[in-house]
Amino acid sequence: MKLTTQTYALLAVMFLISADVWPKSDQVKATLGSAGRATLGVLDWFGGIAEFCARLIKTAVMPPYEGRELVRQMDEVGAKSLPLVALAGAAIGVVLSLHTRDSLTQFGAESMLPTLIILSLVKESGPIITALVVSGRVGAGIGAELGSMRVTEQIDAIEASAVNPYKFLAATRVLACMLMLPLLTIVANFCGIITGWIANAIVEPITLKLFLTQGLKEASFTDLLPSTLKTVVFGFIIGMVGCFQGMRAKGGTAGVGRAATSAVVLSSLFVILADVVLVRLIITFFPQ
């Protein structure tokens, strides 16, 4: 990807903000128009999350490790999202089957249905639906929980107890999201394939074995693995945005609500944007 001059300028401004060099005083903001203030606010946010991310990675790799809390968060993110993700995957399987059957029948290509359902699910629908469901459930949960801990001084209390809240609260949640997203995606894919087969078999009887054999005939390593592993990045985004929004919450219960809402909105948005970039990269590095 070729970087334009504007991109370099944007990166330079982001760096200045993250390094606390960019003037952020109210006086500077007052002299700007509303558009300027909004732009500064956006750049300020990017600078903040970049700094947060750097601090998180630095503390996460240094011992002692928070194994106990990580397991608790994996349960919170993984096990407790499982029913919702399975249901969403199952619904997508049925919808794909219903939608594509008629179109393929028109072209006399019904035999392609298993391939289409399985590849659509595994390559795109499964990962993105899982990420969006987790973003809604877990992103909001993290934003609200950490936001509430921030405004009730619980994060200060953790710090006062000589425990690093970035490591204890944030790093464990981000890592749990990164580890659980691929597993949840596999569950969503599995449920979607099963319900896709059922929806298909009701109209035109076909055994599961034949459905899978036909569907996976065209599938390869480059279809399955990169698409599932890209959800690690989605997990990183959901965890990072949720923790960042939660830990900077202020303004009482209204601030907690804002943190939860913005965590969902921003993480969903960045998941979709990241998907565009990741699909492009997968096509480039794992050509068909």
> What is the contact surface with another protein in residues (CB under 8 A)?
26, 145, 148-149, 152-154, 156-164
Q: How far is the CB of 30 from another protein (least distance, A)?
A: 12
Smallest separation (angstroms) from another protein to the CB of 153: 4
Where helices occur in 62-171 by DSSP H, the ranges are 67-74, 82-106, 113-120, 126-134, 140-151, 154-160, 165
Min dist. Cβ of residue 55 to another protein (A): 11
Nearer to another protein, 24 or 137 (CB): 24
Shortest reach from residue 59's CB to another protein, in Å: 9
For residues 157 and 210, which CB has a smaller minimum distance to another protein in the complex? 157
Q: SS in 3 state form for 116-132?
A: HHHHHHHHHHHHHHHHH
How far is residue 79's CA from residue 73's CA, in Å, rounded to a whole number? 10
What is the C-alpha separation between 141 and 16, in angstroms, rounded? 32
The SS3 assignment for 163 reads coil
Smaller CB separation from another protein, 130 or 148: 148
- Least distance in Å: CB of 32 to another protein? 17
Angle formed at CA 131 by CA 126 and CA 137, multiple of 5 degrees: 125
Contact 131, 233 (CB under 8 A): no
Structure tokens at 229: 């592993």
Q: Which is nearer to another protein, 164 or 214 (CB)?
A: 164
User: Is the CB of 154 or the CB of 222 nearer to another protein?
Assistant: 154
Record the tokens describing residue 85, joined without a space.
């993700």
